[in-house]
Amino acid sequence: MLGGRHAYKGTWAYGQTMRVVIVGGGINGMFSAYFLRKDGYEVEVIDRSHSGKTSVFNAGLLTPALPPAEVNISRAFFDREGPLHVSPSVMMRNPAWLLSAARGGGHEGDMAELGERSLKLYRKFFKEESVEADVADGVVAVYKDEGKARDAAAAHGCKFLSGPDLREMGYAGFGGGALFRKNMAVNPPKLFDALRKKLSETGVRFVTGEEADLEVERGRVGAVSTRSGRHAGDYYVIAGGSWTTSLCRKLRYNPRIIPARGLALLFRAGGSKVVSTPALLEDYGAAVSQHDPDTVRATGFFELAGFDEGIDGGKRDWLRNILAHHIEGSGNLELAEEGVGFRPCTPDQRPVVGGVPGHPNVFVNSGQCRLGMTLAPVSGHTVASLIAGRKPDGVECMDPARF
């Protein structure tokens, strides 16, 4: 029993502080660090990048009410021109994964509940830590077909918005929308930077620009090695995003995570208000939000095509055409930055958060797929609780032992 060894959270019975080494400094690694540090652990985060990738190049919508089932992976088999795509090599290498994904995830209710808990943790975090991340309240799901918008509004118990209502928000050519008032949007790089700064201030040590590898001896992780040396801990958290599967290989554990690539475009808006409320453009699987008078973000694509970081001009144009067509003020937008991110996806579209089977001192926190930003606080909180020997309710659906 883990908890028995703890005199007080984060401290051994003989008074020495426990150390946790986290591999992966994306949003999930960082929220794990946040809650572990709050519990009194000494924490070190190792990441081979300096700036984060997926946790920066995403839409930043915190939307537990919009379930992952809306990413219908089975459509991707047939839809080569649209936002969903599976490459032939991924198809050949992962037939069982794709088959389970096409069958659908189930557990949408559990995931929505976890998402709601995560939003509460986000609100508390923003309030307690005075973190500024351009938080916007309310997200609207928009549809060309008014009937679909009415159905979505009724199914989720939220307000229906008409085409003219959406036009006032800056969106044109849609039949209707469903307004999720309690959902939020953030500016991902701002949150990323603020969180990293806050963690550094509280004593979390960051080792960046170094590839990490687990040292496993006689079935037990003894340290994480990087170019600058060995990093030993009492516990280890693997929060490697889409790379978690390869990191876990030495543990003989397969979390079955593969990457789903997406594209983020950032535009300068030149001080004009282009859209007033963040939106999911459901017909295109795209998202749009404006963080401040000068920054508009658009994201799209869900491509199971490996770790290709190249940006395809055709895809960029596809997304820009959607903006030109549906965003009234798109004429004011000037492309400023672009990047790809990799959503860490499991075949059942559920995260993998908890103890790694057969390794009592190793925990995994990944697999949140398209809800990685939304679920980061609840996932980090779960890992910290499990390490301290507390078993939170309602987290069984994320149990790594299911694979």
Ligand X SMILES: Cc1cc2nc3c(=O)[nH]c(=O)nc-3n(C[C@H](O)[C@H](O)[C@H](O)COP(=O)(O)OP(=O)(O)OC[C@H]3O[C@@H](n4cnc5c(N)ncnc54)[C@H](O)[C@@H]3O)c2cc1C
Q: Which residues bind ligand X (CB under 6 A)?
A: 23-29, 46-49, 52-55, 58-61, 211-212, 239-243, 247, 262, 264, 287, 299, 341, 343-344, 366, 368-374
Separation between Cα atoms, residue 309 and residue 340, nearest integer Å: 6
Closest to ligand X by CB, 346 vs 366, is 366
Instruction: List C-alpha distances in Å: 2 to 22, 43, 390.
Output: 18, 18, 9
Shortest gap between Cβ of 47 and ligand X (angstroms)? 4
Comparison of 54 and 277: residue with beta carbon closer to ligand X: 54
Contacts of 278 by beta carbon, 8 Å cutoff, 6+ apart: 59, 60, 61, 136, 138, 139, 140, 185, 287, 288, 289, 290
Taking the complex as a whole, the smallest distance from the CB of residue 379 to ligand X amounts, in Å, to 8
User: Smallest distance, Å, CB 50 to ligand X?
Assistant: 9
CA separation for the pair 269, 323 (Å, rounded): 13
Between 63 and 330, whose beta carbon lies closer to ligand X? 63
Q: Which residue is nearest to ligand X (CB)?
A: 372
Of 54 and 382, CB closest to ligand X: 54
Residue 75 Cβ vs ligand X, minimum distance, rounded to whole Å? 17
- Of 53 and 268, the one with the shorter C-beta distance to ligand X is 53
**Would you say 75 and 84 are in contact if contact means Cβ atoms under 8 Å apart?**
yes
Shortest reach from residue 324's CB to ligand X, in Å = 19
Least CB distance to ligand X at residue 210 (A): 7
Min separation Cβ 293 and ligand X, Å: 21
Query: Measured from the CB atom, is 274 or 280 closer to ligand X?
Result: 280
The neighbour count for residue 21, using CB atoms within 10 Å, is 25
Nearer to ligand X, 9 or 351 (CB): 351
Our CB check for ligand X shows the closer of 111 and 327 to be: 111
Minimum CB separation of residue 207 from ligand X in Å reads: 9
